[in-house]
Chain A
Amino acid sequence: MRSPSPNEAYIATFHTHFGALTFHKKLKGLGDNAVMMPVPRKLSASCGTCVQFSLPFDPAWADEDLEAVYLHADGNYRLLFENEES
């Protein structure tokens, strides 16, 4: 997956706050300037936490708590990855 341009960002959504915390820590460990924030209303009706990051997303990062990854550009969100549920 390519790196987002300066006016773009990846947004990862999660089933749990713990999932966001773990992902955020992982991205920080990889040197990314990841930020935890409330999930944008356009993406979910939940009042949960998401992570905004800029490193190219690697599907290997997905654990069971990851819900989806979007590319955010110009106020629009494009679904890039959706985690399968059993």
Chain B
Amino acid sequence: MTKFKGHLPVILAGLVVGIASVVLVALGNPVNMGFCIACFLRDIAGGVGMHRAAIVQYIRPEIIGLVLGAMIMALAGKEFKVRGGSSPMTRFVLGFCVMVGALMFLGCPLRMVIRLGGGDGNAILGLVGFIIGIFVGTLFLKAGFSLKKSQPQPKIEGLLMPAVNVGLLILVIAAPAFIFFSVEGPGSMRAPIAAALIAGLVVGAIAQRSRLCMAGGIRDAMMLKDFHLLMGFVAIFVAVLVGNLIVGGMGLKGGFNPGFAGQAVAHTDGLWNLLGMVLVGLGSVLLGGCPLRQLILSGSGNSDSSVAVLGMVVGAAFCHNFGLASSTDGPSFAGKVAVIIGLVLVCAIGAGNTKKA
């Protein structure tokens, strides 16, 4: 019983994330995309004009809420520790590569679970790839991979990422002419700003408190035979599945639609769904956490994670400016080349930062 009590926070966190994602879809977000860190960072990149893919441009309040919610919880728990300087350029490149993989699959690990809970069979291939990527990542960890320790930094360094997000919030509310808002496609599908922001704040706060991490759950299960974080992962799936069955029954947007073809914002190329998520899993293990975790840490004073998030944002812009991102028609040739280069690059980073323990 005591042991179960110890797992309760991460299980509750997973349930809340799952419920929030179903509710956000019902309120307007794209189907099976109540929350997606990769998609939403990509939308933000488009919203501020870093890329010109007209269907994915919107400053997502969910991301802003995640960062600010994590910051508020970290400050309240006296856990706002400003640290950084651990191989920043490497982290930027890893973040970039993680985004290349995510935009091949069309989703981060969190969306992968949400897609599974919506019945999207393509996400099964993504999950297999994610597990393979994490397994390869744990081989690097066991071999002595390290990006070296971070150092304490001035408080301002940790406050800048939350400040940037406050700036983004002002922009999305004020909606000046130079900000881009999609009028069609996934970027045009959005929950009301207040609902999205509140959902982000709640999820950010509980993810900081519970340490919820998609990659960490599978990594700990593989390396340490510890299933604590994995329970959060499973809880998200259960909440999304049950939630989708309920909203589907009520005739609301969303629902459980099992199958491979015709899934929302997804393609059916199994090999590249798998390889994209291999890159995401491997890159996430080397970074020390999945895109959600990087975002939460960036709000908790960790400037190394902020650099990784910036790598993801630039990666997203690059993917859409140069045709690397997949569409519902499938992956592009350039995207396939980019994923292969990404895998080689991330393995080279892994090997180049490994020393004997």
Q: Which residues of A contact B (CB under 8 A)?
A: 15-19, 21-22, 25, 36-38, 41, 45-49, 64-65, 85
* Structural contact, B146 and A85, CB atoms closer than 8 A: no
26 example contacts (A-B, Cβ-Cβ < 8 A) are as follows: A15-B149, A15-B150, A16-B148, A17-B141, A17-B145, A18-B357, A19-B146, A21-B142, A21-B144, A25-B357, A36-B224, A37-B224, A38-B220, A38-B224, A38-B226, A38-B229, A41-B210, A41-B211, A45-B74, A45-B77, A45-B208, A47-B211, A47-B289, A48-B288, A65-B149, A85-B151
Task: Tell me the total A-B contact number using a CB cutoff of 8 A.
Answer: 58
Q: A21-B142, A45-B79, A45-B208 are in contact. Are A38 and B149 (CB under 8 A)?
A: no
B213 part of interface (Cβ distance < 8 Å): yes
A45 to B300, CA, bound (A): 9
Q: Given A18-B355, A41-B210, A49-B224, list of 18 further CB < 8 A pairs? A: A16-B146, A17-B288, A18-B146, A21-B144, A21-B357, A22-B357, A36-B223, A37-B224, A37-B226, A38-B228, A41-B9, A41-B211, A45-B77, A47-B213, A47-B216, A47-B229, A64-B149, A85-B151
Which residues of B, 279-338, contact A by the 8 Å Cβ criterion? 288-289, 293, 300
A48 to B77, CA, bound (A): 18
B147 part of interface (Cβ distance < 8 Å): yes
B185 part of interface (Cβ distance < 8 Å): no
Residues in A whose Cβ lies below 8 Å from that of B150: 15
A1 to B211, CA, bound (A): 32
A9 to B224, CA, bound (A): 18
